[in-house]
Amino acid sequence: MQPLPNTTPSPIEPSAPLKQDDLWIHRVHIKQVAEPKTSYKTAYLLLFMFGWLGAHRYYLRRWLSGLLYTFTFGFFGLGIAADLLLTFFMVREARAREIGLDLTATPSLAIAPQWAQTTDRTNYIGLALRLILFVALPPALVMMAIAFRLDLLVALTTFLLLFAFVVGSIDLGLTNAEKMGENPIIQRIPFLTTVLTTIRSFQDHYTEHKPRSVIYYLFFPIVGFPMMLFSKKARAEFRVYWAIILLLGSGILWDAVNNYSLIYPPYTGPRELFIYTSGSLFFVLILSTSMTMPTVTTSFYLSMTGRQRTLRIIAGITALFTFSIAFVAYRERTQWVSPRANITLPAKLEHERFRRELRPLVEMFTLYYAPRNSLELCARQGVLYSEEQTYLLRRSLAGLFRPEERPALHLLHICPTEGRVRPWLALLVTPDIMGNKDKACLIYLSAPSGTLIERWHQLPPLLQQQFHFGPVPQAPKYRPHQITHPLLLEDSIRFPYGK
């Protein structure tokens, strides 16, 4: 009797090297065939309605991350944004587990880009530098963006961190990006479709071309732009980033045109608008290349060399660090004079109509507060900074100065002699950027009776001797006696800040 033939299927040996599109079916073992119960629609519905509680992650049996979302309100919103893409992959894995599919097999290195298969000591040194810059650049970008009131750059930083986390959560090669884009749920969300298209364009470029040294990208405005004249590869790489730069530039132009009537007239106009907008565009061009390119290239470098887990961890740490700094910076921003205010504030103080409207408000303030100051304020001779009355002054002049200009206003108490006398009041203006005050100019002084003094020569010599002239190394709070020029506002047609 002949033995029965062995009906056990033998492993399938591919006759040709695997292609990238074969990655998602490589080493898939079917244990059972059943209709999966996990639904894409249910997962996305829970994400949109209760994502801040982590309901979609509980539904997909990701208990630890669900608890994290519950206690951090969706990982401070960052996790919810990332899950707009990641939910597709989490549902796919959950459905695969239900029907017994094994999607955890590691694909062959033959699928990885050729440059990703070579390792040497130089690669490890470059990797360490990439990780350091990956952690350091986003917080620095956010700090500068908040200081310059460029909220678009804050949005760009958030997008970059989400982008890095998504790249680290997709399998090596990102080959399913196109298939994911064919999902009807994804197609209904234009933002997700745009993100997938962007990921695909970056993937196509860096699959063919190995990312350059991170130092090259850090100094791209100096090195990269000249290199584009001679290198086709450099031009092709810049075209991938061009959409991001164009979007930021368009946003700045739209903000300038849309808010022109709220910020500039009637005391400033097209000249100040042109100076600020052109400076912002140049600033954004520099930052969006020298800080965006290292982050993106590091994300794809780690992903294509099989370090997706490292990328996810580093992206999470960087996100926490960046948003902690952003929270503190947004709170402190009310004490910074914005770069736009450094342009509009001197122009306002040189405007004759603005001076006519400013004087009665300052006089009203001094007539009310100067006689009411305590006789004990001049316990010692000198110039003192009044934090309480500085706050009251800024509120009193809120109709003439925008919020980003008010931190430049300060009120000083001047005591020419010691004893039970009321101090003189001085209104000081300090244009600055992020607290770097090198200019401090008096515009008005008030006698203890409330009488306003508009010219320097009208001050008593003993009062003039209380001030030192020259560059201002510290804020008025610490060196209130230091001013730039012995001038008041009416001593010159031009505001002395620029002199």
Q: What is the DSSP letter of 470?
A: S
pLDDT tier at 3, thresholds 50, 70, 90: low
**Phi, psi (degrees; rounded to nearest 5) at 469:** -115, 145
pLDDT in tens, 299-357: 888 888 878 878 888 888 888 888 888 888 888 888 888 888 888 888 888 888 899 99
Task: Report how far Cα 2 is from the mean position of its chain's Cα atoms.
Answer: 76
The answer to whether residues 293 and 241 touch, using CB atoms and an 8 Å cutoff, is yes
**Of 134, 85, 60, which Cα lies nearest the Cα of 307?**
134
Q: Tell me if 390 sits within 8 A of 409, measured CB to CB.
A: yes
Six token digits for residue 112: 């990885």
Q: Residue 389: its pLDDT value, please? A: 92
**Count of C-beta atoms within a 10 Å radius of residue 237:** 24
Mapped onto helix, strand or coil, the DSSP state of residue 405 is: coil
355, 370, 342: which is closest to 489 by C-alpha? 355
SS3 339: helix
Pairing of strands 424-429, 409-415: antiparallel
Q: Is the pLDDT of residue 494 over 70?
A: no
Distance CA 494, CA 352 (A): 10
pLDDT band at 393 (very low <50, low <70, confident <90, very high): very high
Written as one letter, the residue type at 66 is G
Token pair belonging to 303 = 């992903």
Structure tokens at 212: 């350059």
In which element (H, E) is residue 90 found?
helix 78-98
Predicted confidence band at 174 (pLDDT cuts at 50, 70, 90)?
Answer: very low
Res 285 pLDDT > 90: no
Q: What tens digit of pLDDT does each residue of 410-428 get?
A: 999 998 887 778 889 999 8
Record the pTM: 0.70
What confidence score (pLDDT) does residue 411 get? 92
Segment (H or E) for 388: helix 387-396
Say if residue 331 is exposed, middle or buried (CB neighbours under 10 Å; 0-12, 13-18, 19+): exposed
